[in-house]
Every structure is written in structure tokens, then in C-alpha cells.
A = this chain, B = another copy of it.
Amino acid sequence: MQTEVRYQVEPPVESPVMICGLPGIGSVAWLAVNHLQKELKAQLFAEVLSPMFSPKVWLTDEGLVRLMKGEFHFWKNTGEGTDVLLFSANEQPYAPEGQYELAEVVLDVAEKFKVRRVITMGGIATERFADQPKVYVGGTDVELVKEIEARGAVRLSGGAITGTNGLIFGLAKPKKMRAICLLAETPGYLSLDANAAKAVLILTAKLLNISLDFSALDKQAKENVEAVQRAKDMSRGGLAHEARKGGDLTYVS
């Protein structure tokens, strides 16, 4: 079986920005792209079927079968500003070669629709639980990095980005595409860090010059805060009761 991109419609976009986010640490990128897709009501235009995904299927509540796959959505901006393509997947390919292959498939679609800029996302593990997570940026050229720094991001200096989110970013360069990677800080222990996803989206919204409703992410983030607090209460025993009464809720872990 070969990897296949199955188009459902031709997306009517012009020089779009492509935003990519696969599951990874804190599911930051995946949450962000899913939120964008729902808020923008972006439409599915292509699927990636591939043996580089796990050999399993899953079922909807209606008992309908679904493959592991990648999905491309588009959003036609009817106002001013840029059109958008989105890419996400149920999971990252399990093998290194698969991660390279998927990154290339995504960039081939980006080339096909003359994407002007690729944005990939992710989380960066830090030791603190941040109320307002910092967003770090790396890019394919100095001007791009400086532009994003001016919007409030912190420049990545050194370090590595593993997995497909990093490879889409890195392989853009030899393909002569401009790309940035936005990494929100996230503690390692959250599986769905909505607060970090919101942080990258606030910056992304600025870059796209669009406004976004974050209430769904806020709701998830609030649940995270409460879960963290409960975990702390349990580890502190009786003292927790007093602590809760006595002061503000803080997020320091």
C-alpha cells in the first residue's frame, strides 16, 4: 500500500498560509489546529491515507469505521487577509521514515496550492505551569524570525525539534518555502494543554489578522487548572483544604 492524498474538492484559495499541527507534547499543535478548524468552519478538501499510520481503525458513536489519517481543511477568507490551509492527523507516523514521508506529502500539497508561508506548531517542555505560556519561534530565514519576535515571540536559540512538526518546518527550507515553527511552553504532564494551544493561536491570529473565539479552549484550560489543583491537593493532604481557603489559586507546580 502506498501513501495517497485523496482530494475531495479543489480548495478555492489564493496564496494561502498553511498551518500544520500533529499530536505531540501536550497535544498543543493538534489542539490549536483543531480549534482553528472549528472556529473558522474550515472545510475538508483532502485526506492522507497511508501505511505509515498505526495499523488500526476506530469507530464513531454510530458504529462507523474510520481510518487513521491526515486531513487538509481550507478556509476561504471572505474579508481582507489571507486564505488558510490546515493540516492535522490522528497521530504522528510511528516510524522515522514515515515522519519524513508525511512531512514531504504535506509540503507537496503546500507547493501545489502556492502556499506563501508554512506555520508549524508544537509544545516545548518547561518546568513551570504557566498561566500565560511563552511562545518560542524559529524560522527558515532571519527576517521571518525577527518579524515574529516583534509580535511577542521568543527566539529559539539552539535546541532540536523532533517529529513531524519539526520536519515539515525543516524540509520547507530546501523546497524554497518560508516557514516558522511556534512552540508554546507546556509542562510535560498535561496530555491536552489548552492554555498552551491558546497561546500559539493568539500569536497566529495576529499573524493572520483574524479574530478568534477562544471560549472552547478556555473551558478546557480551566479544567486543566482544576485537575492540577486537585492533584496538588491530594499530594498535600489536609493542608490543601487550608490553602484553598486562604488564598488565590495559583498555577505554580
List residues of chain A with CB under 8 Å of any chain B CB. Answer: 1, 6, 49, 51-52, 54-67, 94, 96-97, 99-101, 103-104, 137-142, 145, 155-164, 166-167, 169-171, 173-174, 179, 181
Which of B56, B139, B162, B179 interacts with A55 by CB under 8 Å?
A: B162
- Residue of B with least CB distance to A171: B67
- Residue of B with least CB distance to A99: B55
How far is A104 from B3 in the complex, measured between Cα atoms in Å? 12
Determine whether the beta carbon of A51 is less than 8 Å from that of B97. Answer: yes
Contacts of A6 in B (CB 8 A): 174
Contacts of A54 in B (CB 8 A): 96, 162
Determine whether the beta carbon of B64 is less than 8 Å from that of A1. Answer: no
- Residue of B with least CB distance to A104: B1
Tell whether A59 pairs with B158 under 8 Å between CB atoms, given A94-B96, A100-B1, A142-B64: yes
Contacts of A101 in B (CB 8 A): 1, 51
Contacts of A100 in B (CB 8 A): 1, 51, 55
- Residue of B with least CB distance to A58: B160
Tell whether A137 pairs with B63 under 8 Å between CB atoms, given A55-B167, A100-B55: yes
Identify which of A6, A58, A94, A103 gathers the most chain B CB atoms within 10 Å of its CB: A58
- Residue of B with least CB distance to A93: B55
Tell whether A59 pairs with B156 under 8 Å between CB atoms, given A49-B174, A101-B1: yes
